[in-house]
Structure 1
Amino acid sequence: MNKDHLQQIFKNYIDRFEEFNSDDRTNSSEYYKWEMPKPFKVSMDKALKAENEEVFKYELDNIRKITHDFIDSGKTLPFAGLVKAADKEWETVQRMFRELYKPDDGNLDIRQEKIESFLAQANHLKDKNNLSDLYKSDFRSVTAYLFLYDPDYNYIYKPTHVQDFQDCIEFYDDFGEGDHVNLKAYYQMCDWLVDAIRETPSIKETNKLRAPKFKKEPYLDTEWHILAYDIIYCCSAYNLFRGITFIHHTSKERKVLWEKQQKAQELYEKLKAAQEEKKILDAAMDELGKWLVVGESVTFKSFGKAAPVEKGIIIKKGSTMITIDFGDGNIKTIDWMSTVTNGYLKFQKEESGFANTVETLKKASQIKGNLSTAEREFALYSEYI
């Protein structure tokens, strides 16, 4: 994802905050999004518990007023369609909402199934009651019911606002089309956005500025899901993409780019693992360096089973070789790495754990080779990370 583009979006949101959060509400006032969830949940809970048609339909009508044009608009009236269906089958509509709000413990596969089941039943009722397509339910509307009921655990999906945002921040996973939406992919993008919000104090401080403007008790939005949606929405509604150059991609292009992003992430993880191995090797080299010093007492066994073990003192150390004085004019210069890793050269005062150091040193060439390969492979995809 493109963090620089997202930070520019945050800056534009902050700079133009007052523009879309008008005090008198005669102009743009997007803070109503924070005012809807609490009354929505109160009325929905009453509707879910209703024991008769009158109470159920009364609360649905309250919800229609609370949400105003957030769910229904001049072009589509999915919630109004459910209200009309409730005139004939209120218990069916109630059961649909009860099933939608059953706990799923954060399992997005189950949540996806609940949304699709609700959607299928809603449109079956529309057709059964001969309602026009004006009242057709869609994936967006069902995610809105979940979002308004419990914003901390849900995101609303509005494709008209999402696609440009997706291209701008270079998140290329396929969300699907129409009512065939990949909920996991969309939630992944939103979670990434929320993480960025948490790490950006300026956007959180700006968010506090709307507090005096509320006319109703707002939802606290401690998980930043409402703010995340507001940012996505305002990007397209108020062109918060200003100053950012990005490419609008087709679904096919996004698929190719997503595959490259996934490959880049895979190679990045491989690179990080190789870098960690190199750190361990460097630490092992440092540990060995504590012993490879002039004056250190060592034992050395020459090649061959019958070769004697000699005791000596290091008198000189180079980048790859050391010189050992074994006394009586017996001085040898040897390769310290190979003799240590093969067990021919030992230190008389070796500490516990030094054997692990030696095991790491044995893999030095492999570790360096793995890092070189990982760096080379990642370089080919680094622009997609």
Structure 2
Amino acid sequence: MNEKKLDVILSNYKASFKELNSEPNGEYYKWYTVEHFDKNWDIDAEDFSAMFREATVKAHRLINNKVVEPLNGILELSKHNSHKVREMFKRLYNENESSAKGIQGKVNDFINEANKTLESLDSGKWKYSQHVGAVVLYLAIFNPSENYFFKATEARTFAEYIEYDREITTGNFFNLKNYYAMCDILVEAIKEDKELLELHETRWAYNNEENGRKPDIKDDYHILAYDIIYCAHNYKLYKSKPQKVKVKKTGTKKSISSKKKEMQEKEKGIIDRLSIDISNVNEKIRELEDKEEKVVIPRLEGMKVIHKSFKEGTVISQFENYLIISFPEGEKKFAIPNSFASGFLSLEDENLMKEFLATYEITKEKELLKEELKQLSLEILKHERILDN
């Protein structure tokens, strides 16, 4: 990690502190969101939907946007089966799985169960889909002293800038353990920065609605760490000198600022939507890989095969995904299962042929999904560049 670059971000964050927390930016809202959730969350509430709606009413800015609405997705699921959703959150919030690996497993399970159920209810409601960022945020607002808020673009740009040496997220990959480890490093830097800690304690004065009241939560500076990561990206704090935070203006300038903000929100929404697509494609690939592990390629040594041109031959050797077949005119090498699927080779045993064809279908579908994953990743990079400009 490049400590000098981290110092640049912290220095610019402190220099921009007033603008970040003054209206209309009001970045202090994150702490009040957690407090409101804590006061209203009750997993055993008789009316789970009503409880969830109230507990997360201040979290929409953190989780929803104009394109995807994960919070509304939870309400949609609750409308059909609130008991199932309640159980999903019980498993997600089960503290028996406290390791990063265990937490990531719970996040993936939550996403898969939620999205499969949503798909079965109405395949057109993709905007309600759950994704990594949303579910990690559910964890963070429930227990911020153990978890961190997460948004993929912000996390990736922060990691790249400070030259963090562990992979956190790419278009088709997320490592929660590495992300939490990076945030832990940032928390340690926060604790050593007396000026930053003093500024942080003045944050609440900018909240006129609460008359400067400090929110009653324990987060061990985890929310502050995310706030720095988020603001560094969204307010261009990576510059050697802090860029003045944009505030609302009157007249024409206000209109221009409004349009730019709308464009940014649209791009963020598209990125979130693409992230959901990537998550869904990854899940399909994992399912195919599970099928692959159960497939046993039949041994064909000594068996007769028929080739379109060379006619009948005998398999004399089989290794990895290849057969060596002896024909009257000599030995030939063939890739399997492709040669059977394409019709160049055939077996008299119909059951064996079905096994090879099933294996081929899995392989082919995986290749198509990987290509789709590549295109989605490129699409995300394109929209992230638009957002950064």
- The equivalent of 1:293 in structure 2 is none
After TM superposition, give the deviation of residue 197 of structure 1 in Å: 0.7
Counterpart selection for 1:58 from 50, 55, 78: 50
Q: Does structure 2 retain, via aligned residues, the 8 Å contact 1:138–1:179?
A: no
Q: Where in structure 2 are the equivalents of 1:68-217 lying within 5 Å?
A: 68-104=60-96, 106-130=98-122, 131-178=124-171, 180-214=173-207, 215=210
Q: Where in structure 2 are the equivalents of 1:1-385 lying within 5 Å?
A: 1-22=1-22, 25=23, 27-44=24-41, 46=42, 48-51=43-46, 55-104=47-96, 106-130=98-122, 131-178=124-171, 180-214=173-207, 215=210, 218-243=215-240
Partner SS, residue 196 of structure 2? helix
Letter of the structure 2 residue corresponding to residue 75 of structure 1: V
Query: Matched residues in 1 for 2:172 and 2:118: separation?
Result: 16
Partner SS, residue 152 of structure 1? coil
After TM superposition, give the deviation of residue 209 of structure 1 in Å: 1.5
After TM superposition, give the deviation of residue 64 of structure 1 in Å: 3.8
Report the TM-score, using the length of structure 1 for normalisation.
0.59
After TM superposition, give the deviation of residue 241 of structure 1 in Å: 0.6
Q: Deviations over 1:121-158 (max 9, x none)?
A: 11112101114221111000000000001110001220
Letter of the structure 1 residue corresponding to residue 88 of structure 2: M
Q: Does structure 1 retain, via aligned residues, the 8 Å contact 2:31–2:223?
A: yes
Query: Matched residues in 2 for 1:188 and 1:197: separation?
Result: 14
**C-alpha spacing 1:128/1:179, structure 2 compared with 1 (3 Å):** farther
Q: Does structure 2 retain, via aligned residues, the 8 Å contact 1:139–1:179?
A: no
After TM superposition, give the deviation of residue 178 of structure 1 in Å: 4.9
Letter of the structure 1 residue corresponding to residue 45 of structure 2: A
After TM superposition, give the deviation of residue 176 of structure 1 in Å: 3.5
Query: Matched residues in 1 for 2:163 and 2:55: separation?
Result: 36
- The equivalent of 2:372 in structure 1 is none
Query: Matched residues in 1 for 2:140 and 2:202: separation?
Result: 23
Letter of the structure 1 residue corresponding to residue 133 of structure 2: R
Letter of the structure 2 residue corresponding to residue 205 of structure 1: E
Q: Does structure 2 retain, via aligned residues, the 8 Å contact 1:3–1:169?
A: yes
**C-alpha spacing 1:66/1:86, structure 2 compared with 1 (3 Å):** same
After TM superposition, give the deviation of residue 61 of structure 1 in Å: 1.6
Report the TM-score, using the length of structure 2 for normalisation.
0.58
Letter of the structure 2 residue corresponding to residue 41 of structure 1: D
Query: Matched residues in 2 for 1:202 and 1:80: separation?
Result: 40
Moved over 2 A (4+): 41-44, 176-180, 211-214, 219-222
Q: Does structure 1 retain, via aligned residues, the 8 Å contact 2:32–2:215?
A: yes
Q: Does structure 2 retain, via aligned residues, the 8 Å contact 1:36–1:218?
A: no
Partner SS, residue 155 of structure 1? coil
After TM superposition, give the deviation of residue 77 of structure 1 in Å: 0.5
Partner SS, residue 141 of structure 2? helix
Q: Does structure 1 retain, via aligned residues, the 8 Å contact 2:37–2:56?
A: no
After TM superposition, give the deviation of residue 98 of structure 1 in Å: 0.7
Higher-Rg structure is 1
Partner SS, residue 238 of structure 2? coil
Query: Matched residues in 2 for 1:178 and 1:89: separation?
Result: 32
Query: Matched residues in 1 for 2:219 and 2:120: separation?
Result: 41
After TM superposition, give the deviation of residue 189 of structure 1 in Å: 0.6
Q: Deviations over 1:35-79 (max 9, x none)?
A: 0112212322x2x1123xxx2111122134221221111111111
Q: Does structure 2 retain, via aligned residues, the 8 Å contact 1:37–1:149?
A: yes
Q: Does structure 1 retain, via aligned residues, the 8 Å contact 2:64–2:71?
A: yes
- The equivalent of 1:349 in structure 2 is none
Q: Does structure 2 retain, via aligned residues, the 8 Å contact 1:38–1:218?
A: yes
Q: Deviations over 1:321-365 (max 9, x none)?
A: xxxxxxxxxxxxxxxxxxxxxxxxxxxxxxxxxxxxxxxxxxxxx
Unaligned 5+ segments in structure 1 are 245-385
Corresponding residue pairs, total: 237
Partner SS, residue 143 of structure 1? helix
After TM superposition, give the deviation of residue 179 of structure 1 in Å: 6.7
Percent identity at matched positions? 31
Query: Matched residues in 2 for 1:171 and 1:21: separation?
Result: 28
**C-alpha spacing 1:219/1:120, structure 2 compared with 1 (3 Å):** farther
Query: Matched residues in 2 for 1:243 and 1:230: separation?
Result: 19
Query: Matched residues in 1 for 2:152 and 2:37: separation?
Result: 23
Aligned-residue Cα RMSD (Å) equals: 1.9
